[in-house]
Chain A
Amino acid sequence: MRIVIVGNSTAAVGAIEGIRLFDQKSEIIVIANEEAHTYSRPLISYLLEGKTDLQRMKYRPDDFYERHNVTALLGQTVTAVDAGAHELTLAAGGKVPYDKLVWAAGSRPFIPPVQGLDSAPYYTFQSLADAEKLASALSPDSRVLIIGAGLIGLKCAEGIAGRCARITIADIAPRILPSILDEEGAALVQAHAEKHGIRFHLGNAVQSVDGNTARLADGTALDYDILVVASGVKPNLEPLTAIGAKAGRGILTDANGLTSLPDIYAAGDVAESLDITDGLSRILAILPGAYQQGKAAGKAIAGFPVPFDEAMPVNSLGLFGLHMGTAGVAKGESTVTQTDADYRRFFFADGKLVGFILIGDLHRAGIYTALVRAKIPLDTVQFDPQKPALAAFAPAARQKMINGENA
């Protein structure tokens, strides 16, 4: 059997490792338009910050392809899929036949319709190549304008803060990190970033750029030397939707990663998953989910399907030394505790913990994530919003958790 994987990042690695758990024989071919050995995409900001390097940011060791008996065709773009003939078309010409296909093509930057952007030079922050281009354009006196106060814009700001004179971030949204933080939490993190010199214009869309000046909705004119567009991402799904794959914003799959097309699987940021915390299908766009979806697809292809049925948003990130961790949904009944260094908000529904936002202290926070994931009724545990502990669980449940099913 020949398995072709399009993509060479998290979901692809998950698929390779999932396949090789059970199947050492099938041929595996990885095709990716990026040239690099598989690397950790989130580390591009740490690279610019000097906290990692090209060697250490490799997502898997140098001998990964060899050890997993994978042929890597890097620097090759797939332009079309023929589901009937079971073959791919490469931009460089040529076809690649497959028996099973894993579409793990991730996403690309979304470029908002800002007037003047089509003729103004700008940078994006989505790949190693993007990071390297941006780094070589920066100088100690660069004034940088970043469009987008989401995860990517903020991580970019952190990464380059030591390499330029000034960073301004503008976003149409009224607060930073709107997809993971609530208003209070966002204000706290924003104040922290401001202490590190980042300036914000929120609730204020960039309406046009012209030469080295951006105009915001409220009339403000901002001069800049370098423009970075970080306004979200778009899934690389067109080659599959072009042949009729069912899709919402992302490709739809079952819990084994199988799409609506025969022998074609999809995983990672290109695919939706069923968020168990609110029952909605969506692109989660987090690295752990991409790995788990990829691995599930790999296991299914190898003939040992283990459905991935626990997808949920879990985000952990540090920004200028301040850590935050969030999981599940951020709506409904909630409790908040706040001290100088610490913000903790928990969301409840039907007597269960359904989500949380922690800023500051993340000590043992995975215990909260587990309560959300396993939907444990809170009347069976002693939930403590300050101190997560396994002591919260009833002795029998705890014994089973710690020592395993046979305890």
Chain B
Amino acid sequence: MKRITVHEEWCLGCHLCEYYCAFANSGGDDMADALRGVAIRPRIAVEDAENDVHFAVSCRHCATPRCAEGCITGALSVVDGVIRLDADKCVGCYTCILLCPYGCITPSEGKPIQKCELCLNNSAGAPLCVQKCPNRAIVLEEGAVPCAL
């Protein structure tokens, strides 16, 4: 299955992916309108490390996902390799937040939590962060990602 890989050596630290992610999940069709005056809550986050190193992290869609296995309601499940959220079932207990080794599930506004669903849950249809990364530091490619920790 195709997964998002991130290349920190190419990441400029521009944080554009965060804005595109917020836009893709906003439901709007004009980016400026959708994001004007909004404190964005993206499902991808760029970390800025020492020595001018930057990298983006979003759900790794782990092969053995602790979040879905530990979800107390069944709101998180694996559908065709993608960890999907049924926000209707979620009560916001945050067990998944405590279990995700990547810190990729976050509280949300309106719904209890949010996570990257590879843009299958919105009208972008394919990850907008990948499409819009100016330096191709975020790519969608074949590869198995184990849950390393």
| Total of A-B residue pairs, C-beta within 8 Å | 138
A314 to B69, CA, bound (A): 13
A177 to B148, CA, bound (A): 32
What's the least CB distance linking A201 to chain B, in Å? 27
Segment at the interface with B among A108-116, A211-219, A386-394: A386-394
| CB nearest neighbor in B for A10 | B72
Contact among A288, A365, A400 for B66, CB-based, below 8 A: A288
| CB nearest neighbor in A for B103 | A364
Inter-subunit contact A367/B47 (CB<8 Å): no
A161 to B149, CA, bound (A): 39
| CB nearest neighbor in B for A374 | B149
Q: Is B99 an interface residue, CB under 8 A from the partner?
A: yes
Interface residues on chain B, size class: 35 or more
Contact pattern, A 376-396, Cβ under 8 Å of B = 1, otherwise 0: 100000000000111100010
What's the least CB distance linking B89 to chain A, in Å? 5
Q: Do A367 and B8 form a contact, CB below 8 Å, given A51-B91, A56-B88?
A: no
A389 to B55, CA, bound (A): 11
Q: Do A405 and B146 form a contact, CB below 8 Å, given A56-B88, A325-B94?
A: yes
Q: In chain B, residues 78-115, which have Cβ atoms closer than 8 Å to a Cβ of chain A?
A: 88-89, 91-103, 105-107
A399 to B47, CA, bound (A): 13
Inter-subunit contact A391/B91 (CB<8 Å): no
CB-CB under 8 A from A395, the residues of chain B are 8, 53
Inter-subunit contact B146/A404 (CB<8 Å): yes
What's the least CB distance linking B116 to chain A, in Å? 13
A292 to B50, CA, bound (A): 37
Segment at the interface with B among A57-65, A90-98, A262-270, A336-344: A57-65
Inter-subunit contact A401/B94 (CB<8 Å): no
Inter-subunit contact A403/B145 (CB<8 Å): yes
Contact among A291, A327, A401 for B98, CB-based, below 8 A: A327
Inter-subunit contact A316/B66 (CB<8 Å): no
Most chain-A CB neighbours within 10 Å: which of B96, B103, B107, B143? B103
Q: Is B43 an interface residue, CB under 8 A from the partner?
A: no
Q: Do A316 and B103 form a contact, CB below 8 Å, given A401-B148, A407-B5?
A: no
| CB nearest neighbor in B for A366 | B100
| CB nearest neighbor in A for B45 | A364
Contact among A314, A323, A391 for B99, CB-based, below 8 A: A314
CB-CB under 8 A from B66, the residues of chain A are 288, 366
What's the least CB distance linking A236 to chain B, in Å? 20
Q: Do A292 and B69 form a contact, CB below 8 Å, given A43-B91, A367-B101?
A: yes
Which 9 A-B pairs rank lowest in CB-CB distance, beginning with the nearest?
A364-B103, A288-B70, A370-B101, A391-B49, A366-B100, A370-B149, A401-B148, A404-B145, A316-B95
Which B residues have a C-beta under 8 Å from some C-beta of A? 5-6, 8, 47-50, 53, 55, 57, 60, 66, 69-70, 72-74, 88-89, 91-103, 105-107, 143-146, 148-149
Show 25 A/B contacts (Cβ-Cβ < 8 Å), sorted by A.
A40-B73, A42-B93, A56-B88, A288-B69, A362-B107, A363-B106, A363-B107, A364-B97, A366-B66, A366-B96, A366-B100, A366-B105, A367-B102, A370-B101, A374-B149, A389-B103, A390-B47, A391-B47, A391-B49, A401-B102, A401-B148, A402-B102, A403-B6, A403-B143, A404-B144
